Structure 1
């Protein structure tokens, strides 16, 4: 129930959707002559919201606390027992239709998987990603990654594919049950920087201690707080992503999936080097 409900809530509360729906609602009120003044006000407010969200640094302000929560760490020499990469970077429908790996803006997760596999040849490699679709039987991200492993330079025999999870909580719970990490082992968790707080919180709740390895940065750091966007689509796209993440953090805390509103690094978490061959971690 939680999964389909979350899809509906995110659809309605996604800023670009909400603002466009407000414009439509206002236009209908004006067209049918009911509450014309309110309808005009709704259209103007929504149009202003689209301008502000699209061109101003608003999305960057919302993203920065998420991305700055877990800094890029430096490898201190502690052996890496395993690496967990979360799904979200693979376009499953297009990949299946075109019979090749098609990545979205979070595709740096897959680049990091290949890079870390090379840098830590003895580490176990786990990829967590089922299908995010509502219909049963849809192809999973893990299936696509398994099919295209050779193209990424990943020996298929090294991959542990978790293909049932549909959200971050299930990523953590199902992966923990699959790899059964031992106490004292060091596992790296690879996901987008803006997603790392919720992901780490879920893994901690699952009893799986991980060291954060953030990738897929959408900001250049605090200096972006005064940067305006050249295209409204850039600001709206980023705002949609990070507002959804803030809602996810709150929902997961209320549901008991994490033990903190905004999970933070622990003093015992060993730093890891996030400067990889693709150069994406510090983009």
Structure 2
């Protein structure tokens, strides 16, 4: 792997994200507080307990539900707008490096959720598919794993394989090169509802017209009384993951705004 300035910046961004997301985020004030207990006991306790509070907020259904609502795209695909699209773009979401049952590596469950919906849309509309996702660590580009999954599991071929991107912004920039060369300007963009706002902004910045086609909502839905189901569930690993994903997207949106 070549460490040019853009590569170094990419990994610095990844390291910063690790520090600002759970499980590391709440541990930082806890450790700082414990280190201060001897010299500044009151301040140390306050800082340490603040880390505990942050951790509780990021696993509690009520607070996680609120956080999810701030970033998750609320609407399903607009059928009328979909008829004006020229192609379907599906963004990568990660890989499983140890998948011996599939002969090596494959896409992870998040990418599979996106591919499943993209395949359904491709069959419904007849539009060509573009898969986007690179290989930041220098291994098999994720787009190639996505292409393989589409062919083997859904019997569909991707017309374009964008395999150089490392993040959402590059997904948009590099995909736009393929699409615009083919005369495509308006696309159905398939990604998680939690990721849609940031992805749409990136593609529009790359001068593409976007019809959002979100999938796999983490929030929303009500019970028989009209109450948000997310507010009545007990804390669980699913709640913790939803909190991580929502905070990740919120930080990503803020980073995009600052860099514009």
Q: TM range, normalised to the smaller chain?
A: 0.7 to 0.9
1:23 aligns with 2:27: no
- Displacement after TM superposition at 1:92 (Å): 4.3
Give the equivalent residue in structure 2 for 1:237.
Answer: 241
- Displacement after TM superposition at 1:226 (Å): 6.7
Q: Is the 8 A contact 1:57 1:224 kept in 2?
A: no
Structure 2 gaps, min length 5 = 1-5
- Displacement after TM superposition at 1:9 (Å): 1.9
- Partner Cα distance (2:236, 2:41) in 1: 28
Do the aligned partners of residues 233 and 226 (structure 1) sit closer, same or farther apart at CA in structure 2, a change above 3 Å counting? closer
For 2:237, what is the secondary structure of its paired residue?
helix
Q: Is the 8 A contact 1:60 1:219 kept in 2?
A: yes
- Partner Cα distance (1:51, 1:27) in 2: 18
Do the aligned partners of residues 165 and 57 (structure 1) sit closer, same or farther apart at CA in structure 2, a change above 3 Å counting? same
Structure 1 gaps, min length 5 = 257-283
Q: Is the 8 A contact 1:60 1:225 kept in 2?
A: no
For 1:27, what is the secondary structure of its paired residue?
helix
For 2:14, what is the secondary structure of its paired residue?
helix
TM-score, length basis structure 1:
0.77
- Partner Cα distance (1:78, 1:52) in 2: 42
RMSD: 2.6
Q: Greater strand percent: which structure?
A: 2
Give the equivalent residue in structure 2 for 1:99.
Answer: 104
Instruction: Choose between structure 1 and 2 for higher RCO, CA contacts under 8 A separated by at least 6 residues.
Output: 1
Give the equivalent residue in structure 1 for 2:211.
Answer: 211
- Displacement after TM superposition at 1:73 (Å): 3.2
For 1:34, what is the secondary structure of its paired residue?
coil
- Partner Cα distance (2:196, 2:19) in 1: 24
Give the equivalent residue in structure 2 for 1:153.
Answer: 154
The count of aligned residue pairs is: 246
Structure 1 residue ranges (4+ consecutive) displaced by more than 4 angstroms after TM superposition = 95-98
- Partner Cα distance (2:77, 2:109) in 1: 25
